[in-house]
A and B are shown apart, each in its own frame.
Chain A
Amino acid sequence: MTVPQILYVSAFLLILIGLYSLLTQRNMIRMIIGLNIADLGVNLFLVTIGFVDNGSAPIFRAQAAAAGPMVDPVPQALVLTSIVIGFGVTALALTLVMRLFVTHGSIDTARIRGLKW
């Protein structure tokens, strides 16, 4: 297997693990952790799309002008955005869980009436 293939498989596995924990966990903090794992998988997938054989980081240096190919900078910039948005979503979700604990006294979805499935 080549490096990108290993990274694609890892990214898909991370997404699947995250979604599985979102579906099966009842503790909301664990669901948020699952969301974060899936988020990581998506980020890894995006970065891997820009991979180039023997590519270096897309940073120009003054001396070594022709030092070989560089990887794609666009997915990396997108992932930078994605990480920040992921942080915002996580902070908001954790605050919602805090609020839910105050109003319902539990963060177990099975014990909160109206959230059971």
Chain B
Amino acid sequence: MRKLIGILLIGGFAFYLITVGMGLFSAESRSELDSVGSEILATSPDLSGAANTVTAVVVQYRGFDTLGEVTVLFASALGVSMLAMAIRDGLLQDLFDDDGGFVLQAGSLALLPFIVLVGIYIVLHGHLSPGGGFPGGVIIATAVFVVILTSKTLSIPRGLINVLETLAGLGFLAIGFVGLYSPAQSFLANILPKGEFGSLLSAGFIPVIYAIVAIKVASELINIISKLTAAGSASREAAE
């Protein structure tokens, strides 16, 4: 019965998608852009100084949206923290009784600096190549995640991570207000010098914003992961 209802509903939705998307299927594929994208591609090198136009859109043209995006991620991390704090059950106790062994532990610790290095590289080249603050921050958090997975006794400096997260959020806002009170008089205005196009030190404030976003994303992810694993192993902590 469930399956039948599911198939009927999905069939109806598929019919809706086909009717709406008919124009997409029949249209000839385009050879050039005719939307706002072409305008952005034409003005982006002079306006933002970033070689990667996607980064220019994310940070320069839609910087306020990126602030909102970081806020949504913060709200999600906050929700995870609040919900996980109430779990004192030791759901993942079996996982934590098995600590992975010496080879995995030593290997994860040896990998940690290299993973962090790759993350930092991706963050700093966000305005030149695919990447940036969000994927770079996730990669940096992955380094800690690998250690958490293998090691039984890793104490994460929660206080330091919370301070970093707060400072990154405030830094984003501070850069926005610096733009507001500069001669450009707009929130998140790119007032720093643009530098040489295509070099590492270019694109004004875009690398700065992306570094801040990376710190925020990495600290939030480490927070989420450590809270969830702590909820899973709560009874172990209580026993100690």
Chain A residues within 8 Å of B, Cβ to Cβ: 2-5, 8-9, 12, 15-16, 19-20, 23-24, 50-54, 57-62, 69-74, 76-77, 80-81, 83-85, 87-89, 91-92, 94-96, 98-99, 101-102
User: What number of B residues sit within 8 Å (CB to CB) of A?
Assistant: 61
A-B contact count (CB 8 A): 152
List B contacts of A98 (CB < 8 A). Answer: 83-84, 87, 91, 228, 231
Contact B76 A92 (CB under 8 A): yes
Can you list 12 contacts pairing A with B, beta carbon distance less than 8 Å?
A8-B24, A53-B30, A59-B130, A60-B197, A61-B198, A62-B51, A62-B198, A70-B53, A77-B58, A95-B228, A98-B83, A98-B91
* Dominant secondary structure of chain B at its interface with chain A: helix
Give the distance to chain B from A89, nearest Cβ to Cβ, in Å: 7
Which chain B residues numbered 157 to 214 have a C-beta less than 8 Å away from chain A? 197-198
List B contacts of A15 (CB < 8 A). Answer: 17
- Residue of A at shortest CB range from B73? A88
Give the distance to chain B from A56, nearest Cβ to Cβ, in Å: 11
State in angstroms the CA–CA spacing of A102 and B87 once bound together: 7
* Dominant secondary structure of chain A at its interface with chain B: helix
Contact A53 B53 (CB under 8 A): no
List A contacts of B103 (CB < 8 A). Answer: none
